[in-house]
Amino acid sequence: MITHLGIVIPAHNEQDEILGCLDSVAQAGAQLPDGLAQSSTRILVVADACTDETVSRVADFAEQHPQVTILETTFKNVGSARNFAWNHFKQSAEADRDVNFDLTWIAFTDADSRVPTHWLTTHLAMAEAGSDCLVGTVSPRPDTGSAALIAKWHSHHTLLEDHPHVFGANLGIRGSYLNIIGGMPQLPLGEDAATVAAVLAAGGKRETHRHLPGSHLGPSGGTRGGRLQQLYAEPSLRPESAHSTSGRLRPSCSRQPRANREN
């Protein structure tokens, strides 16, 4: 069974969205089995180059939810932010000398997403069934944009069985494979698909079908500039490139071979 669970949420100026995301993740966490100790579950919010009230709002939430940790960075790069959280989680887990990264699972979502209550239990069920890489589905929230824009999104994302899409807002990776591939690619865009490709190249098993729980995307869709606008609007609204590689922790790598899986 999975013994260590990490939930990674990158956020860039998401003061209006982050609490809704955290509330939904906390509700999903409340459905976890008793066998997964609360001390072994970490929710890592990466406040990346935030200039609004994101950090203070997460800090207030964390006072009531001790499993939440804020990581402040200045990457302006979603891949770097996700990877920074993974390295932090890995370092913390390694303090447990008995940790087995093959029994560790990292679930990724976005700061403006809302996950369903069965999100984490489904991720764990698929992990325990042998999946190393879980690619779920997403759909825009009604307040994301105009009806025409949302319809256009759906016209480009036919989420059938074994759909080809990869969404960082609903992604799960076994910890041992994140070790094998050296963490998440530090890309400003497309880090989710690059991670899945690397896991598959390393021999990992991917699960992708329409019945995986969906995450509901908000206005920014986890990308700088906005997922819907990025796909369909002018180039000036597309994500910026990275220009910084520094990070610091508040408040509070190396590759390893895959361990033998034990239940």
Structure confidence at residue 44 (pLDDT) = 98
Q: What is the mean pLDDT of residues 243-256?
A: 27
Q: Which of 9-18, 121-130, 242-251 has the highest mean pLDDT?
A: 9-18
* Separation in Å, CA 172 to CA 3, 84, 127, 243: 15, 16, 9, 27
Residue 20: is its pLDDT beyond 90?
A: yes
Please name which of 240, 253, 259, 197 lies closest in space to residue 13, comparing C-alpha atoms: 240
**Averaged pLDDT of the chain:** 79
Q: How far apart are CA 133 and CA 173, in angstroms?
A: 5
**pLDDT digit string, tens, across residues 34-76:** 877 666 899 999 999 999 999 999 999 999 999 999 999 999 9
Asked if omega into 140 is within 30° of 0 (cis), the reply is no
Please name which of 75, 77, 62, 263 lies closest in space to residue 168, comparing C-alpha atoms: 77
Residue 261: is its pLDDT beyond 50?
A: no
Q: What is the mean pLDDT of residues 113-129?
A: 92
Cβ–Cβ under 8 Å, residues 5 and 92: no
Cβ–Cβ under 8 Å, residues 112 and 218: yes
* Separation in Å, CA 114 to CA 118, 121, 139, 255: 12, 15, 10, 32
Place of tokens 């609490």: 19
Copy the structure tokens of residue 139.
């759909």
Cβ–Cβ under 8 Å, residues 163 and 210: yes
247 phi and psi angles, rounded to 5 deg: -155, 155
Maximum CA extent, the chain = 53
**pLDDT digit string, tens, across residues 127-183:** 999 999 998 877 777 777 788 887 887 777 666 666 667 878 899 999 999 999 999
Structure confidence at residue 255 (pLDDT) = 24
Cβ–Cβ under 8 Å, residues 165 and 159: yes
Q: How far apart are CA 115 and CA 30, in angstroms?
A: 13
Structure confidence at residue 96 (pLDDT) = 77
Q: Is the pTM of this model over 0.85?
A: no
Q: How far apart are CA 21 and CA 59, in angstroms?
A: 14
Please name which of 60, 57, 63 lies closest in space to residue 11, comparing C-alpha atoms: 57
Cβ–Cβ under 8 Å, residues 167 and 215: yes
Please name which of 187, 6, 182, 169 lies closest in space to residue 80, comparing C-alpha atoms: 187
Task: Please report, as a single letter, which amino acid is at residue 23.
Answer: D
Structure confidence at residue 68 (pLDDT) = 97
What is the sign of the dihedral through the CA atoms of 128, 179, 40 and 121? negative
Copy the structure tokens of residue 84.
């920074």
How many other CB atoms are found less than 10 A from the CB of residue 245?
Answer: 12
